[in-house]
Structures are given as structure tokens and as C-alpha cells.
Amino acid sequence: MSSVPSRSEIAPLPGGVRIAPEVARGTWVVIPVYNEARAVRAVIRGLREHFPNVVCIDDGSADGTWEVLRAEAPHALRHFVNRGQGAALQTGTAYALRHGAERIAHFDADGQHRVEDLARMATLVADGSCDIALGDRFRGETAGIPTGRRLLLRTAVLFHRVTSGIDLNDVHNGLRVLSRSAADRIELTADRMAHASEIIDLIARSGLRVAQVPVTIHYTDYSKAKGQSWTAGFRIIFHYLVGKVLG
């Protein structure tokens, strides 16, 4: 495992975005990883130039992901079987909180998110402007988003306005920052992709202050190939509704 940057080594961010070193150190970035050996190395290296505490959870990968995480991630955890993204996020969050994290950030492993967006969101939470910062691609940039993906995401927004009563513009964006107290209260129980709907439910019921922050999502051929289909979207809704009934 390579060393993490010291306070004096935190690199400047693109576009003139600034983050105080103490905010960067107190923000633990949790990355769920499943079969992302091709992309995750660059994601980790990009984050570690600015955020010393990066927690990667290999969720039962079979493509060499674990070897990449052991070499690159300051904190590498492993599920020996695939439990799903929700379970990986909860594992990483619990680990970061035990180690003194002041804020928990969620960041995807496929290279879609920008570190400068994360820095702006972490700063908002750190200065008390909100308890939870959620990335909003529709107020930001979505160049290259497939039409089907846009329709699926817009459908999810309407679904949550009905089921959760929450008025959000982008409900399934994986880029989030939570204060420590918010992360303590937002405990995920949905192991797989239904966690993306569960977390919106939990936020809606929490009474916590939420900020929607414009972000840019990079839609590459690689990330689009791994993205959710309409069929997968309906499976998520089904599992979410079953969880609500059984819960």
C-alpha cells in the first residue's frame, strides 16, 4: 500500500476550486468496487492527490480489482462474495466512522465523478451549510448521457416524489457527502442497488438539511456499457418496494 499525501502535499484542484487541508483530511471517501480493475486505479490516484483517506471495498470482484486496491488504496477492504453496492457502502461507512471520519463521501469507481465537485460538496458540509450534499447532474453537466438513461433517471425522480415526498432533481447520483451525524443516522439495509432508493427514503424521513450541488458526470463508452438498463431499473424498484413492505 502506497503512502498517503501529507498536509503540505495536497494538490491544487482544477478550475480554481479550493478545499482546506483539514476538510480534506476529515472527509473519508468511500468507494464500492466490483470488477473495476480497468478504471479504479486512476480514480484512486486522482482522489488521493486531494483526499488522504480513501476507503475502497472490493465487493467480491473476479477481475484483479483486489490486487489494484491493495496497491493503491490507503484503506482496502474486501467482501469475499458479492453482496451488492449498498452493502459495500455500509461496510466502508462503518469503517470510516470507527476511524474518526468527520464526513463520509460516496464516490463511484468507474471514473464518472470529478474530484473538484466532491471538494465543493465536502466544503459545504464542513462549513455547516448543510448536513448532506447530493450531486445534481441535471443542474450541472450531462454531456453524452444516453437518452434512455436520462428518461430512466427522470422517472426515478417522479417515483420518489410520490413515494418519499421529497423534491430532489437527481435521486440516483452516486456522488454524496454526509456529515458524521448524518452518516450515523442514514444506515443502509438494502444490500444491492435498491440502496439508492433507500437512502432517499431515509433522507426524506430524517429532517436533515440537504443541498443539491451541480456536478458534472463523465459518460464514457466504458461507464455507459456498465450502466443501468430499464430492466435493471424496474428490478431496483421491485426490490425497494419489497423492502418497504417487509420492513
* CATH (domain of 64): 3.90.550.10
Amino acid at 135: G
Whether the full predicted model's pTM is greater than 0.85, yes or no, is no
Residue ranges making up the domain that contains 52:
7-146+169-188+209-226
Q: How many CB atoms lie within 10 A of CB 141?
A: 16
Domain assignment present for 194: no
Task: Provide the pLDDT confidence category of residue 228 given band limits of 50, 70 and 90.
Answer: low
Q: What is the pLDDT of residue 201?
A: 86
Domain assignment present for 26: yes
Q: How many CB atoms lie within 10 A of CB 225?
A: 8
Task: Provide the pLDDT confidence category of residue 176 given band limits of 50, 70 and 90.
Answer: very high
What's the maximum distance between 2 C-alpha atoms anywhere in the chain? 51
Residue 237 has pLDDT above 70, yes or no: no
Out of 1-10, 75-84, 215-224, least confident range: 1-10
Domain assignment present for 53: yes
Q: What is the pLDDT of residue 224?
A: 64
Q: What is the pLDDT of residue 213?
A: 96
Location of C-alpha cell 471495498? 57
Task: Provide the pLDDT confidence category of residue 192 given band limits of 50, 70 and 90.
Answer: low
Q: What is the pLDDT of residue 163?
A: 72
Amino acid at 78: R
- Give the residue ranges of DSSP H helices in the chain: 21-26, 40-48, 65-72, 85-98, 115-126, 147-163, 180-185, 195-206, 221-225, 230-246
Domain assignment present for 103: yes
Please count the structural domains in the chain: 1
Mean model confidence pLDDT for the chain: 85
Q: What is the pLDDT of residue 220?
A: 75
Task: Provide the pLDDT confidence category of residue 178 given band limits of 50, 70 and 90.
Answer: very high
